[in-house]
Structure 1
């Protein structure tokens, strides 16, 4: 493994050896932690019956609800008492006065477009966590098929929910920083899926008075900052995204794998079909190598892009949490990172509902020409392309594009 990538470890989604335990035959957080949960039905569990109980999704035609949204957002702005507040000129929005659980289908279409245009939107004073599992899943399914995370904790018998659970422990804080200088890990969720997420909802269940903010960076602006020459050179390059490191970390901690690990090949420069804009689609979390380049070449180019992304704090927003906040973002457009800046005994407990979107493409033409049938054929050669030498990949793939 290249020194460019550090070992994957995330005890907020995986079980922790020596801390978590089996209760009624199911691995879950300890009885002591459960006693401190405000919403015990949302306790993360890693049920062995789900081990390899799911298949990686097959190609499907995605219908983006943002195409049906009204750019004036009249159905949302006309709600009595609603307040919209921009977090920065081009990225992020904070909304008060809208109850997400009560939106009509027309309002959901406007919501999809609003999230895509602003990148990330925080909704305050929400009742989402008081809805039933089935009500929340029905709400999310409007925006696309629900993702089942391969390794994270989920409420018992509810694998469509991805839980993050930061145990209230100073020892856990110390353990994390034993071999790290910081906790910053910019990523877009599960980009290793063949059709990664679009609209994503994250709802807080329990948190402390301060700390644990989530930060977001606009990858459209990250791309736009590059010179025309470099943009031209990056266009058409493809990157391997993998879930194998995450799966290995789950196994090491005694967790489960709901699905087989997967490698996918995605464009380095991604086209957003609703916004009709391009962005950088690579990050340290799951992006591993640019096809057609030698390891040193790939490492250095990716490292440059990662450093460039990290430096774009003028294309960045930081959202604070309370226990009634729901944040919705477009995983195609923004990267995010948690902020581990508290070492108190406060528990941070939240759930994510993730909807899958289109196959990443590099242009409008690719988007128009894509079909599930064509993608089925492309999937048959993923492993073949990954194992080609740079010369073989150039001769077989890149030379045909020149």
Structure 2
């Protein structure tokens, strides 16, 4: 992670012109690191031809596959050779004996519900990384349109995959803590999208013997801990999420922007249409301010909520990795953070496939009444709402007739 002002970005996903290289006209990691890859077909690349070659997704009606699931999960856990362990009573599972690459559509429906109910699941002894890119994309597309990350590395000509590559050098690790005390950055992926991801798969390609866990935090639980009075005060509040700072950092380090930066306005408290629960929907990486509040008011309320989230270590789990582990989580429910706790020259290399989900909403009624056509009109008004003063926002939005 690198801090840009008070904003932290993950160096493991971006090109670095001071240490990376070009090969055959394509931006990629250094020749030394390329030689050390266990899976060179997954080498991170940034094709300059992709710069602004993609459009931001248009509104669409998402169908959550969990709505078709069998809540007994017999198709997944009924086999006597399948082992399931709860990481905590409320959050997380570890599963062995299920091969994700072999799941039927029915099993994928059940998988979606199981992931949403448990928040995050680690699947051991997986072979997904040996499947073709087309097979993996088809697997992910079952849950929704695949997200194309605007700035991260991807396998050559495969922008639907997001790569995390922690370069193998003790010097790189030392730089992480050169100017800060820790590297924890709780976030939900790409919440600046108008319809951010839901089901998210993260597969390890190459890992060390220990360390580098990914931590997950339950935003349902964080919301439930608040007092009834505080919950009432948060109702109706909207937050600006932006990709502009991430895009700036990518260009600063010599990378690309596959699509234009985007601002989106999301509810501070988000309703989950399958589980019918509410959770906080903010994170330090992309949430910038609460609309309708003055700067100091917004900063202080966001700071309170972010401090509350980060202190909820009794609502979080740590998932540890080996080279054959795949972790799937519900990006609507949990935050996650990398853990930089090793100082060797081991490479850490992984890929992510993530499917876009529904437009974040605050209530079941809003979810049922939502249409892509109306959303197009709302998107067109984003700059207008962001530009209103707190007094104007109160008059035109909060106190306006519904």
Instruction: Kindly indicate whether residue 200 of structure 2 is the aligned counterpart of residue 200 of structure 1.
Output: yes
Q: How many residues align?
A: 400
Q: For each residue in 1:248-306, what CA deviation from the matched residue of structure 2 results, as whole angstroms up to 9, or x when unmatched?
A: 00000000000000000000000000000000000101000000000100000000000
Which residue of structure 1 lines up, in the alignment, with residue 12 of structure 2?
12
Q: Which residue of the partner structure matches residue 146 of structure 2?
A: 146
| Counterpart mapping for 1:168-317 below 5 A | 168-317=168-317
Question: Does the aligned pair in 1 maintain the 2:45–2:153 contact within 8 Å?
Answer: yes
Gap runs ≥5 in structure 1: none
Tell me the equivalent position of 1:373.
Answer: 373
Contact 1:8–1:246 (CA<8 Å) still a contact in 2?
no
1:130 aligns with 2:122: no
Cα deviation, residue 171, structure 1: 1.3
Q: 1:156 to 1:4 in 2, by over 3 A?
A: closer
- State how far apart, in whole Å, the 2-side matches of 1:181 and 1:144 are: 38
1:341 and 2:341 aligned: yes
Structure 2, unmatched stretches of 5+, are none
In the alignment, the residues of structure 2 paired with residue 356 and residue 188 of structure 1 have an alpha-carbon distance, to the nearest angstrom, of 13
Distance 1:225 1:22 in 2: 50
- Quote how far apart the aligned CAs of 1:5 are: 6.3
Give the superposed CA RMSD.
1.2
TM (normalized to structure 2)? 0.98
Displacement of 1:401: 6.1
Q: Deviations over 1:91-118 (max 9, x none)?
A: 0000000000000000000000000000
- 1:355-399 CA distances to partner (integer Å, 9 max, x unpaired)? 000000000000000000010111110000001000000000000
Question: Hey, what's the Cα distance between the residues in 2 that align with 1:7 and 1:395?
Answer: 32
SS where residue 397 of structure 1 aligns? helix
List structure 1 runs of 4+ shifted beyond 6 angstroms: none
Task: Check conservation: 1:192, 1:286, Cα contact below 8 A.
Answer: yes
TM-score w.r.t. length of structure 1: 0.98
Q: CA deviation at 1:169?
A: 1.0
Does structure 2 conserve the Cα–Cα contact (< 8 Å) formed by 1:4 and 1:299?
no
Q: Distance in 2 between matches of 1:174 and 1:204?
A: 23
Q: 8 Å contact 1:8–1:249 — kept in the other structure?
A: no
Deviations 1:8-44 (A, max 9, x none): 4321000122211000010101110011000000000
Deviation of 1:176 after TM superposition, in Å, equals 1.8
2:37 is the alignment partner of 1:37: yes
* SS across alignment from 2:151: coil
Q: Give 1:79's aligned residue.
A: 79
Q: Report SS of the residue matched to 2:7.
A: coil
